[in-house]
Amino acid sequence: MPKAPLHIPHSQYSEYCFHGIPASRGIVNGNAIVIHNDLIGDYQEHISIDQIPDELERFSQAVIKSEQQFEHIISISREQFPAMSHILETYSMILMDADMHESIRKKIKEGYSAENAIFHNFNAQKQFFLLAKDPILSERAVDFDHVSSQLLSALRNKIISHQVCEDSIVIATSITPTDIMTFKQQNCKGFATEIGGIASHASILSRSLSMTSVIGINDIVHKVKTGDTIILDGNNGILIVNPTDETLSQYRQRSIEEIQYRASLGDLAHMESKTEKGTHICISANIDSLTDIDEAIANGAQGIGLLRSEFQIARYGRIPDEDTQVEWYSTCAKKVYPEFCTIRAFDIGSDKFAEGLPKEENPALGVRGIRFLLKRKDLFKTQLRAIIRASKTKNVKLMLPMITNVSEVLQTKELLEECKSELDQEGFLYDPHLPFGIMIETPASALDIESFFEHCEFFSIGTNDLTQYILASDRINEHVADIYNIFHPVVFKLIGTIVKDCNKAGKDISLCGELAGFPDATDRLLSLGLQHISISPPLIPGIKRKVINNQIV
Ligand code: PEP
Ligand code: MG
């Protein structure tokens, strides 16, 4: 293991703070190791005709060596970090692309050196992806850099992975997944990069490996020196160089709290949510605020099963405008990327944010959820436009609350189409296949779920409301609290029917009511065939434990 860099007393320097994008949670401090990504260095541009056969052979050998490197790292990841292997396989696919090989060979035969041919061909592909308007595609551009740097290193028999020392924090222009895996094995504490988006492979990997990371800090490799003391705050996207004693002690305290919090979760966050018999159960999160998302991620949630969008109204004190909503939804979707983010349209009315609405005798049976939205198409369209715009990360789903009949779905779909064509004209990008689903929280939609199959891709059972409507007892009225019983056998009976119908039709079905968060309900729900539940973030570890111990399904 390399020696730790010399510690330069930080008190001789002033404290600097840099802001980037928080890509993976955690607060760590240590000494910086700055890696300057020198992709190519000096090389001979042209070769003579008699050097061509050797140059072609050099290229072939570099491909073989790089492929072996990727295979090695993929096999480690399959054993230790299975979720990551598909990401690494992408690199192998780029490396082995036959068209790319052919154009590199062609260039070598024209008298260019292998370095020159590799650099220019990969750079051309990279530029092509950089031009993509789709942010997911443009972030893939960096993959070409990773593969070409691997090939160039192999050409020159260089050690491909960077070595870092224990407890260090890496600062680099960009980092390859191979590096990240090596750093993890060397107990490196985290990294900060100049390049990268929240959806970049580096960010995804750092989250799945729980390595603190902050990305997108402009020119950081020239602002930090190897050996500088730094604090990396992956919760807030902050990097502090040469912190004062006071800042260090504040952050040490925060870091201790963070470690204690993680320890309290044990290893559960990283364990697959799988029963003893091997059935995978998706546990996603119910989210009311951005802080909930951080907790959901820390607890290992597999996406957001319910984003209660109406909570923005409390946050902003009004229904926010389109741009504000886009920002909020995009932040949520990016935070959980590549997992999904199910945004539920405003569930306004009844007990939720009913101020300003006409007083009703019986609000739970009145104008709430979809009924309110279809009466206020102006507000509804603003929200639909915002959700469609936020869908460009392609991990957003749209869900409607309080559905009782197909007409509500059809009217919404008409509005959706209207919004999409407006957005097309205005030049906005979005996911054309934005998945569309509904909450099943009224007996009408539960008993007639087949009618919705041709219009919806997914369903989520809202037992909080379903219980009140099945048992005819208001969920917030303490006088009937003994009748409002989410464990009532009839509730389970209806859940069983819904799940059976959906499973038969091959439709995604989840349950996002509070019932799913009770450990006493887990075995029964799984026995009914349910394979996706969405619960409040703090409840995830407890329910995951129940899933892992389940011996029935
Ligand atoms: C439900 O009704 O079960 C549900 C999840 O929605 P909410 O609690 O927001 O009404
Ligand atoms: Mg509900």
| Cα dihedral 538, 541, 546, 550 sign | positive
Average pLDDT, the chain: 87
Encoded amino acid at 325, one letter: Q
Counting ligands in written order, the one closest to the CA of 309 is: 1
Single out the residue of 232, 259, 304, 257 nearest to residue 21, CA to CA. Answer: 232
- What pLDDT score was predicted for residue 355? 63
Rg (the chain; Cα; Å): 27
pLDDT, tens only, 540-552: 988 999 999 999 9
Mutational test site, ligand 1, from 284, 346, 347, max ligand atoms within 8 Å of CB: 347
Q: Rounded to whole angstroms, how far apart are CA atoms 228 and 215? A: 18
Q: Per-residue pLDDT for 85 more than 80?
A: no
CATH code for 274-352+364-548? Answer: 3.20.20.60
Q: Which of 146-150, 297-301, 539-543 has the lowest mean pLDDT?
A: 146-150
Alpha carbon nearest to ligand 1 atom 9, residue: 308
Q: Which helix (H) or strand (E) holds 519?
A: helix 519-527
Q: Which atom of ligand 1 is nearest to the CA of 465?
A: 2
Single out the residue of 395, 402, 370 nearest to residue 304, CA to CA. Answer: 395
What are the catalytic residues?
A: 201, 512
pLDDT, tens only, 441-480: 999 999 999 999 999 999 999 999 999 999 999 887 768 8
Neighbours of 127 (CB within 10 A): 11
- What pLDDT score was predicted for residue 415? 98
Single out the residue of 205, 215, 267, 262 nearest to residue 237, CA to CA. Answer: 215
Q: Rounded to whole angstroms, how far apart are CA atoms 519 and 521? A: 5
Q: Which of 73-87, 224-238, 308-322, 453-467 has the lowest mean pLDDT?
A: 73-87
Higher-pLDDT residue of 444, 208: 444
Taking the domains of the chain in order of start, what are their residue ranges?
A: 16-37+161-247+258-264, 49-155, 274-352+364-548
pLDDT, tens only, 364-423: 999 999 999 999 999 999 999 999 999 999 999 999 999 999 999 999 999 999 999 999
Instruction: List residues bridging with 229 in a β-sheet.
Output: 31
Q: Per-residue pLDDT for 217 more than 50?
A: yes
Q: Give 107 Cα–ligand 2 centroid separation in angstroms.
A: 62
Share of the chain above pLDDT 90, in %: 57
**Residues composing the chain:** 553
Q: Rounded to whole angstroms, how far apart are CA atoms 88 and 82? A: 10
Q: Rounded to whole angstroms, how far apart are CA atoms 290 and 330? A: 11
CATH class, 16-37+161-247+258-264 region = alpha beta
Mutational test site, ligand 1, from 286, 292, 308, 313, max ligand atoms within 8 Å of CB: 308
H-state helical runs in 7-164: 52-80, 85-95, 98-109, 114-130, 135-139, 141-155
Q: Does any ligand 1 atom lie closer than 6 A to the CB of residue 462?
A: yes
- What pLDDT score was predicted for residue 6? 34
Burial class (CB in 10 A: 0-12, 13-18, 19+), 92: middle
Q: Which atom of ligand 1 is nearest to the CA of 308?
A: 9
Alpha carbon nearest to ligand 1 atom 1, residue: 462
pLDDT, tens only, 478-517: 688 788 899 999 999 999 999 999 999 999 999 999 899 9
Q: Are 402 and 439 within 8 A, CB to CB? A: yes
What is the model's pTM?
A: 0.67
Q: Are 517 and 493 within 8 A, CB to CB? A: no
- What pLDDT score was predicted for residue 4? 36
CATH superfamily, domain 49-155, is: PtsI, HPr-binding domain (1.10.274.10)
Q: Give 441 Cα–ligand 2 centroid separation in angstroms.
A: 6
Q: Give 171 Cα–ligand 2 centroid separation in angstroms.
A: 46
Cα–chain center distance at 41? 35
Higher-pLDDT residue of 364, 4: 364
Q: Rounded to whole angstroms, how far apart are CA atoms 166 and 182? A: 11
Q: Does any ligand 1 atom lie closer than 6 A to the CB of residue 463?
A: yes
H-state helical runs in 228-369: 245-265, 290-298, 311-316, 322-336
Q: Does any ligand 1 atom lie closer than 6 A to the CB of residue 464?
A: yes
Q: Give 377 Cα–ligand 1 centroid separation in angstroms.
A: 22
Neighbours of 251 (CB within 10 A): 20
Higher-pLDDT residue of 503, 131: 503
Q: Which atom of ligand 1 is nearest to the CA of 464?
A: 3
Q: Which residues contact 97 (CB under 8 A, 6 or more apart)?
A: none
Dihedral-angle region of residue 423 (phi above 0 means left; psi in -120 to 50 means alpha; beta otherwise): alpha
User: In which band, very low, low, confident or very high, does the pLDDT at 70 lie, cut at 50, 70 and 90?
Assistant: confident
- What pLDDT score was predicted for residue 14? 83
- What pLDDT score was predicted for residue 61? 93
Tokens found for residue 47: 């070769």
Q: Does any ligand 1 atom lie closer than 6 A to the CB of residue 465?
A: yes
pLDDT, tens only, 327-351: 999 999 999 998 999 999 999 887 7
Q: In what order do the strands lie in the sheet with 190-193?
A: 16-19, 238-241, 229-233, 27-35, 168-172, 190-193, 212-215, 21-24
Higher-pLDDT residue of 461, 319: 461
User: In which band, very low, low, confident or very high, does the pLDDT at 205 lie, cut at 50, 70 and 90?
Assistant: confident
Q: Per-residue pLDDT for 160 more than 80?
A: no
Q: Which residues contact 71 (CB under 8 A, 6 or more apart)?
A: 92
Q: Are 373 and 364 within 8 A, CB to CB? A: no
Alpha carbon nearest to ligand 1 atom 8, residue: 464
